Amino acid sequence: MVCLPILFFLLFCSGILPALADDERVKKEADSLQKEWEFEVEGQVRLRGDFAWNQDFTDFTFTPGRREGQFLERSRVQVSLESKTLNLEAVAQGQWYGRWGGRDERSDFDLYQGYVAWEKALGLPISLKAGRQELSYGSAFFLGQNDSYNGLSWDGLKVSVDPAEQFDIDILGAKMAKLNNEDPGIYLAGVYATYQIDKERSVEGYLFYNKGGFPLFHREFEFVDSGQRWFTLGARIAGKIKGFDYELEPQFQWGRVREVAGDGKDRVRAYGGHIELGYSFKFPWETRVFGAYARGSGDNKPFDGTYTEFHGTVFTDTYLTGDMNVIADLSGLTVNNIRASGIRVAVGGITVNPLTDLSLTLRGHRFHATRGPSGFSRDLGTELDLVLSYNLMKGISFLAGLDRFLTGRFFEQTSKSKKNIDYLYLQAQVEF
């Protein structure tokens, strides 16, 4: 009789213990899977108010006597799933962008980014990134995020090759995501190579092919031609030596665009670039002074068969042309259908940090056109920008700007107005 309870006990354990062992194995596998894949949610909320005098926010044109204000909201939520063992990451980032006030009100929901990235694929020095993604290189003179408003992203594939520790090459092909109704169909393909001399210095070179897109101007003529074909060859040298920092980036462009009149093609021969030099003092306020010069070639002969207006700063919002978008890029400026083609700008400024999290920057931009209609001045004016940036705490920051554009003789001739343009913006951003 004593053996009977023992027999029952052994039978009970024979059923329970394997089950417990299975549960323990499942739990370990679940823990291992959880460690294998990391799930993360991030977000950003940006609120901004813009106020302008003598400027229209719809296309930033000069409109004497007009006052305009707008409220902007941009929210982004990003979810990512990453395996560090497999070097795989999947990212999806949604965006809600709203704009109220003025004549161009909108409220849009978009997939801003959505991609899969595979680092060191198959153990090789090759990384792949496929899907909707941001593309940004160097100081974003040619290609950047255009972050001031709703951003810029691309649908395509980027292959990164690292043949040596200090040398990497990006090969990409993509189509610009349509985040605005008026966005043209732009296809971009190219190669960007970087040689990192040391931690502070690099030499870079790139070649891009662009099909379609750019709004082109031949004096008063403006059109968008999906058959445009552009090649942009560029180089960039940047670095720091003791207290100095420097950057040099020339570009040359060639290709074909449609003629102003007729169905033929004009050949493209354009150039541009920028140079910058700064020095940081060992003062308590970390003072930095800097100067820069940028130039884009222009065109005022629409019927000679050659188009020479530079379009190398279209996909970004470089600080070189100021905060106000009066001069949007180095291609030129149109006021009342009169085109000043090609921009050259001299920039000087100073940045101080009176507090650890407080930065103040004062910049001056002097603008001239390289080409223009006979009888019109090439003096475009001067822009003064005062920018304040403050980080209240981790994830909470504020940005404010007070700008004035002192219009030059060209504005007076084309608009019959000597008014200046004023611009004020206030921005708060929360990241989590």
Sign of CA dihedral 268, 275, 345, 374: negative
List the domain range (segments joined by +) for residue 347: 3-431
SS3 content of the chain, % helix, strand, coil (to 5): 10, 60, 30
pLDDT of 5 above 60:
no
Q: Residue 29: what pLDDT?
A: 56
CATH number, domain at 392?
2.40.160.100
Q: Residue 302: what pLDDT?
A: 85
The partner residues of 257 in beta bridges, in order of sequence, read: 266
Q: Residue 406: what pLDDT?
A: 98
pLDDT of 216 above 80:
no
Alpha-carbon span 309 to 378, nearest angstrom: 15
| Greatest C-alpha distance within the chain | 121
Considering only residues 364 and 224, tell me which one the structure prediction assigns the higher pLDDT.
Answer: 364
Total length of the chain: 432
pTM reported for the whole predicted model: 0.87
The three-class DSSP label of residue 359 is: strand
Alpha-carbon span 311 to 272, nearest angstrom: 8
CA 136 to chain centre: 6
Residue 410 is given by DSSP the state H
Considering only residues 31 and 417, tell me which one the structure prediction assigns the higher pLDDT.
Answer: 417
* 420-430 confidence digits (pLDDT tens): 999 999 999 99
Alpha-carbon span 220 to 302, nearest angstrom: 10
Percent of the chain with pLDDT over 70: 89
The CB density around residue 284, as the number of other CB atoms within 10 Å, is 9
Q: Is 206 exposed, middle or buried (0-12, 13-18, 19+ CB in 10 A)?
A: buried
CB-side exposure of 11: number of CA atoms within 13 Å?
A: 6
pLDDT of 6 above 50:
no
pLDDT of 219 above 80:
no
Q: How confident is the model at residue 353 (pLDDT cuts 50, 70, 90)?
A: very high
The tokens for 67 are 């006052």
Mean pLDDT of 284-291: 94
Percent of the chain with pLDDT over 90: 75
pLDDT of 282 above 70:
yes
Sequence-distant (6+) residues with CB within 8 A of 5 are none
Mean pLDDT of 317-346: 93
The tokens for 105 are 């009100």
Alpha-carbon span 253 to 266, nearest angstrom: 13
Mean pLDDT of 334-352: 95
Specify whether the CB–CB gap between 93 and 108 falls below 8 A: no
Mean pLDDT across the chain: 89
How many domains are there within the chain? 1
Alpha-carbon span 173 to 186, nearest angstrom: 11
* 162-199 confidence digits (pLDDT tens): 999 899 999 999 999 999 887 778 899 999 999 999 99
Mean pLDDT of 284-295: 96
Segment holding 398, helix H or strand E: strand 396-407
* 300-312 confidence digits (pLDDT tens): 888 899 999 999 8
pLDDT of 1 above 60:
no
* 233-250 confidence digits (pLDDT tens): 999 999 999 999 999 999
Which contacts qualify for 236-240: CB closer than 8 Å, 24 or more apart?
236/138, 236/139, 236/141, 236/202, 236/203, 236/204, 236/205, 236/206, 237/202, 237/203, 237/204, 238/138, 238/139, 238/201, 238/202, 238/204, 239/197, 239/200, 239/201, 239/202, 240/200, 240/201
Q: Which of 398, 384, 389, 375 is nearest to 347 (CA)?
A: 384
The tokens for 84 are 């560090």
Q: How confident is the model at residue 260 (pLDDT cuts 50, 70, 90)?
A: confident
Q: Which of 71, 61, 73, 65 is nearest to 102 (CA)?
A: 71
Of 2-6, 265-269, 332-336, the range with the lowest mean pLDDT is 2-6
Alpha-carbon span 418 to 411, nearest angstrom: 7
Specify whether the CB–CB gap between 327 and 345 falls below 8 A: yes
Q: How confident is the model at residue 228 (pLDDT cuts 50, 70, 90)?
A: confident
* 9-61 confidence digits (pLDDT tens): 444 445 544 554 466 665 655 555 556 899 999 999 999 999 999 998 888 88
pLDDT of 370 above 90:
yes
